Amino acid sequence: MTAPNNTAEGLIRRYYECVDRQDPAMFNLFHPSIRYKRPGYPVIEGMAEFREFYAARRVIVKGRHAVEALFHSDRQVAVEGRFTGILRDGSRADLTFSDFFDLTEEEGTLLITSRRTYFDDTRV
């Protein structure tokens, strides 16, 4: 079942569904000036860098995010979860993660403006 993305929770759940399916519709959930920060990478700024990260630099080949807890206010969302998947070097990953999102509303549509990700495994 696809989560609706007209609420903060729905938008973030939709993001995980899209990224796990490698659905390019994922990019429509983000503001063009997206800012993405994660350990081991320079800060990713703007849609062009964001797309390039997913196309060429992300060490994850495929996987699944399981949301274990999601907390939100009007324009911020925090997620704790588990990721299982395959990395570019062929190894398997099974780890916990935390994500923090900032949102904005434009013309009645919620969009992600910022994401900060933390993993308990340095390979990712």
Q: How many helices (H) and strands (E) does the chain have?
A: 2, 6
C-alpha 108/C-alpha 58 separation (Å) is 31
How high is the pLDDT of residue 2?
Answer: 55
Q: What is the number of alpha carbons within 13 Å of residue 54 lying toward its C-beta?
A: 18
| Domains by residue range for the chain, with CATH | 8-119 (3.10.450.50)
C-alpha 124/C-alpha 108 separation (Å) is 34
Amino acid letter at 107? E
C-alpha 62/C-alpha 20 separation (Å) is 7
pLDDT in tens, 24-66: 999 999 999 999 999 989 999 999 999 999 999 999 999 999 9
